[in-house]
Every structure is written in structure tokens, then in C-alpha cells.
């Protein structure tokens, strides 16, 4: 079978590898699609810290947003059968044709295996369980109440998913969003933002404080993964019992100014299956939300790539190609 390896900075190589064999507790899954996640780009760019590079030298495997079809089932596996379409977290090198997984591990504390069936009518490339499961947890921990001001910096794929879920809360006073891309800000309005700010054109902090009458916001969501995002949410959070949710993926060494965080907000960082409050519940809920259109994946998944075009998939993600929000590689 084929599998993708990062063999040097900005270079994938498709290699032939041995087909996985399963035991009586496992099942074999044919990957139908795997999302391109920005958290994988530091491995591709080789911008990790030196210690992490040493821990994960080239060649590297990435890909953790798989969906696929069960093609073989061990005799002890229950609840799944050949032909089931599944998604979730069941491998960390899923830019490949096949992976094996053990369904029973999804109930083991600390396991990175979480699986759910894809609802009928949901296209396999739209059923990216891992990021959508996280988006459910973002909405759960944000949990604004009626009359709250919510501010969000960043409306890439994860930011738009967070917005789509959190905006379901009724009675928010304002949901203010800032970004650098007008097309993404327009989509943010369609998904529930009440105010959008292009930070190229306005003083975001001043605008937010004017909107809130100088008090600041009740909930601030950071979804960019860079120091400026954490600075902005700290600058606009209210004093006292505010809440900051950081969903940006901060992997590259950098310098952060967190002085404004002394306002004593409650801080959450619900990233990934290990930090989701209860992934075994968030994942099926996410699939239900896709089926219901809460997460409008046909608008969010903008690019689909053949396996041999995986380098272009990553380059488009990194380069903010016009119109790009989320890409999937389909082996």
C-alpha cells in the first residue's frame, strides 16, 4: 500500500509500505479522506523546537483527521462490521491507504482512539471527526449565556467551526469576530457573527471596547495560534470572571506578552482528544451536527486533493491560497 512521509522540509514522498495485518481485537480501515491540519504544518516546515526535531526526525508521518470504510473486522470486534463508514481518532499517520485500529481502546482512559459511525447522507470528506469533535468541546467550555459579549480572533477552519457551534447559543448580545480575510469574515457573518472587524483596517481593541461600552467581553476565543491572538483576547476580556478559550495551535517557539491576563479570566485550552472533556460523547454529537447542517462542511471544505498532490495540499494551507479554508487528501 501507499503512505506519505515527510522526508525533508516542505517535501513529501509517497512510499510503498507493508499492508497492516489485524488481530482478533482490531479492524482494518480503508482511508477515504484525511484532513490537512495546521497543527501538522510545523512537521512539514520543520519549524519545531530542536528537542522536538530530535524526538521526531525525518522521515515523519502525519495525518490525524481520518475518515474511511471498514474492510476487515477481527472476530472479537463488536458494534462494527465490514462496510461501515467511520471517523474519529484512530491513527497519527493517516495520509495513507489503510490503517488498523482497535475499537475497544476508545473506552480506555488516556487512549487516543475515539470512533463513531458516519451518518447516512454525510460525504466521507465532510466527516472529519477529530477537528469537529474538538469544536463541540470548544462550544461546551465556552458556554456563554444570554446577554454575553463574545469576541473571537481568527476564522480559519477551526475558528469557523467554533463560531458555528457557539453561535447556536441564544440571546448573545454580540458575537464579534476579527480576521485579516474579508471573504472569511463574510462567511463568519453567515455562521452567526454579529460584528466583523478586519484588523488590517481598524484598531480591534478600540472597536471592541466601544461596542461593549468599555467593559470588555465575557468570553474571548483565540483561534490563530500566534502571539497576536493571545494579546488581543487578553486586551478585550473583562475584569473579573471573564473566560478565555485558546484553540489556536501554538507549536513554534515565539515571544508572548500575557500582561493583560492578570485580569483573572478563567482559561481553557480544549485541544485534541486528550483534552476534550468527554470525546466519546463529543464525536457522535459532532456527526449529528454535520448531519443537521450546524457545521456547514460544504462551505468549509474548499479543496480536495489526490494523494500524489499532498505537497500542494500543505502549501495551499500554509500560503493562505485565495478561497482556501480546509483541504482534504483523498488517497
- What local confidence, expressed as pLDDT, does residue 203 receive? 98
User: For residue 272, what pLDDT is reported?
Assistant: 52
Global confidence as pTM = 0.93
Q: Could you tell me which residues come within 8 angstroms of residue 56 by beta carbon, excluding any fewer than 6 positions away?
A: 43, 48
What's residue 92's pLDDT?
Answer: 84
What is the C-alpha separation between 85 and 67, in angstroms, rounded?
Answer: 7
In a 3-state reduction of DSSP, which class is residue 162?
A: helix
Kindly report, residue by residue over 217-230, the tens digit of the pLDDT.
Answer: 999 999 998 999 99
User: For residue 262, is it within any domain?
Assistant: yes
146 and 109 both lie in a single domain = no
In which domain, by residue range, is 204 found? 135-271
Main-chain dihedrals φ then ψ at residue 44, nearest 5 degrees: -75, -40
Grid cell listed for 158: 477551526
197: helix, strand or coil: strand
pLDDT, position 239: 93
**Residue 322 maps to a domain:** yes
Flag whether 37 is in a domain: yes
Considering the domain boundaries, does residue 237 fall inside one?
A: yes
CATH number, position 252 = 3.40.50.720
If the chain, 331 residues long, is cut into consecutive pieces of 10 residues, what is the mean pLDDT of each piece? 98 97 97 95 92 94 97 96 96 94 85 92 96 92 95 97 95 98 97 97 98 97 93 95 89 85 76 62 95 97 98 95 96 91
CB 329 within 8 A of CB 40: no
What values do phi and psi take at 136, rounded to 5?
-60, -45
H or E stretch at 107: none
Amino acid at each position: 500500500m501507499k503512505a506519505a512521509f515527510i522526508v525533508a522540509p516542505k517535501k513529501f514522498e509517497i512510499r510503498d509500505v507493508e499492508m497492516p495485518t489485524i488481530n482478533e481485537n482490531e479492524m482494518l480501515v480503508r482511508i477515504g479522506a484525511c484532513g490537512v491540519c495546521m497543527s501538522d504544518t510545523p512537521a512539514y516546515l520543520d519549524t519545531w523546537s530542536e528537542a522536538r526535531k530530535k524526538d521526531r526526525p525525518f522521515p515523519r508521518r502525519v495525518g490525524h483527521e481520518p475518515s474511511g470504510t471498514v474492510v476487515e473486522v477481527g472476530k472479537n470486534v463488536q458494534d462494527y462490521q465490514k462496510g461501515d463508514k467511520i471517523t474519529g481518532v484512530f491513527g497519527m499517520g493517516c495520509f495513507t491507504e489503510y490503517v488498523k485500529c482497535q475499537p475497544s481502546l476508545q473506552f480506555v482512559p488516556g487512549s487516543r482512539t475515539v470512533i463513531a459511525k458516519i451518518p447516512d447522507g454525510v460525504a466521507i470528506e465532510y466527516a472529519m471527526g477529530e477537528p469537529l469533535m474538538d469544536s463541540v468541546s470548544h462550544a461546551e467550555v465556552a458556554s456563554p449565556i444570554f446577554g454575553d459579549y463574545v469576541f473571537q480572533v481568527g476564522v480559519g477552519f477551526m475558528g469557523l467551526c467554533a463560531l458555528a457551534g457557539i453561535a447556536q447559543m441564544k440571546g448573545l448580545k454580540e458575537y464579534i469576530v476579527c480576521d485579516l480575510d474579508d471573504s472569511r469574515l463574510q462567511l463568519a457573518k453567515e455562521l452567526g457573527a454579529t460584528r466583523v472587524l478586519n484588523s488590517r483596517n481598524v484598531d480591534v481593541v478600540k472597536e471592541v471596547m466601544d461596542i461593549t461600552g468599555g467593559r470588555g467581553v465575557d468570553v474571548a476565543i483565540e483561534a490563530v495560534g500566534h502571539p497576536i491572538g493571545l494579546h488581543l483576547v487578553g486586551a478585550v476580556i473583562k475584569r473579573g470572571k471573564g473566560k478565555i478559550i485558546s484553540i489556536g495551535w501554538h507549536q513554534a517557539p515565539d515571544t508572548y506578552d500575557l500582561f493583560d491576563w492578570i485580569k483573572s479570566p478563567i482559561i481553557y485550552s480544549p485541544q485534541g482528544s486528550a483534552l476534550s472533556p468527554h470525546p466519546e460523547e463529543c464525536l457522535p454529537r459532532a456527526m449529528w451536527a454535520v448531519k443537521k447542517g450546524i457545521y456547514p462542511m460544504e462551505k468549509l471544505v474548499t479543496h480536495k486533493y489526490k494523494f500524489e498532490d499532498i505537497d500542494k495540499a500543505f502549501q495551499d494551507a500554509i500560503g493562505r491560497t485565495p478561497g482556501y479554508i480546509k483541504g482534504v487528501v483523498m488517497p
